[in-house]
Amino acid sequence: MRAMPDLPDYEEVADELDAHWDDQGGPAFRSALQQLSALASGAHLEAAEFLPEILALHGPHHDAASSYKWYFIVLSQQGYSVRFDDQNHTPPAYCGPVGDFRNESMVSELVSELGFARVAELDLEAQAWLRARGLEF
């Protein structure tokens, strides 16, 4: 995954987010977050990894669905399994096989928040995003 040439510089965006971390409701943080989202949408791997971390946090930018979808995208590119294979059988708690990205603590919390039905929809959206960019999962 690579950034598009007309997108902002990732390091500058990350620095801006760090500089304004304590004022996440402020315009500077929101602007930098929008830039981070644009980078992630442009298939910039580092941005796609940082974005879901922010969106998963409870606060002004919490978006469980977007966070989950971005985790699916980026962790699939890091070799994690993305096949839904709950071995726990106690929804909404998920426990998949070793290597399943949904076993990661932050993602597991998102699955519990979203529920299995919504996660299945997001899995399809993430798969379509990856296919549209010629990326395997």
> In the chain, where are the structural domains located?
1-62, 64-137
Percentage of residues in the chain having pLDDT higher than 90: 91
Which amino acid, one-letter code, is at 122? L
CA 89, chain centre distance (Å) = 25
Confidence (pLDDT) at 9? 94
3 has pLDDT over 80:
no
- Average pLDDT over every residue of 13-23: 96
| Encoded tokens for 25 | 């409701």
**What average pLDDT does the chain have?**
94
132 has pLDDT over 50:
yes
- Compute CA distances 118 → 6, 58, 107, 112, whole Å: 33, 19, 13, 10
Confidence (pLDDT) at 128? 97
> pLDDT tier at 7 (50, 70, 90 boundaries)?
confident
Predicted confidence (pLDDT) per residue in 62-117, tens digit: 999 999 999 999 999 999 999 999 999 999 999 999 999 999 999 999 999 999 99
- Residue 36: count of CB within 10 angstroms of its CB: 24
CB-based burial of residue 116 (10 Å sphere; 0-12 exposed, 13-18 middle, 19+ buried)? middle
16 has pLDDT over 90:
yes
1/98: higher pLDDT: 98
Q: Which residue(s) pair with 81 in the sheet? A: 100
> pLDDT tier at 5 (50, 70, 90 boundaries)?
low
2 has pLDDT over 80:
no
